[in-house]
Amino acid sequence: MSHNTTPTTPKIDDFPCAWCGLTVSAYAADGARRNHCPSCLHSRHVLDHVEGGPGDCRGRMSPIAVAVPRTGGWQVIHRCVRCDELTSTPVCADDNQLVLMRMAVRPLAQPPFPLEAFGTL
C-alpha cells in the first residue's frame, strides 16, 4: 500500500516584530495577511523586489511614508535599513492610526523649505 504525500509549507501564524519585539499575528483582524507590526509598522525584508538585488537580506524595514494609489486604500512605504530597497504594503484595519497619521502629515509639519517663503508670494 503506498501513501501519496505532498510536502507542506509550514504555516507561519505569528512573528516577532523586528523593531519593538511585539509578537504579531500574520493575519489582521479582518483576516487579511500582514507582514508588518500593527503597533510600530516596522517589517522584515524577506523578499527582494529589485532585479539583481542582494536577495532576502533580512534587514529591518522602517516605515517612512504612506501613499494612496489610484486604486484606493492606504499603503505603508518601507525602506530597508540594510540595502535601502523601498517596498509598499497595504495598511491593515488594526494598524496604529496615530503612527499612520504622523507619517501622513509629516510633509506638512516639516516642509523641505521655510514656511516664511509663503509670505512673499
pTM for the full predicted model: 0.74
**Residue 1 clears pLDDT 80, i.e. is over it:** no
pLDDT tens for each residue of 61-93: 999 999 999 988 899 999 999 888 899 999 999
Three-class SS of the chain: CCCCCCCCCCCCCEEECCCCCCEEECECCCCCECCECCCCCCEECCCCCCCCCCCCCCCEEEEEEEECCCCCCCEEEEEECCCCCEEEEECCCCCCHHHHHHHHHHHHHCCCCCHHHHHHC
pLDDT tens for each residue of 45-62: 876 666 666 566 878 999
Over range 111-115, report the average pLDDT: 83
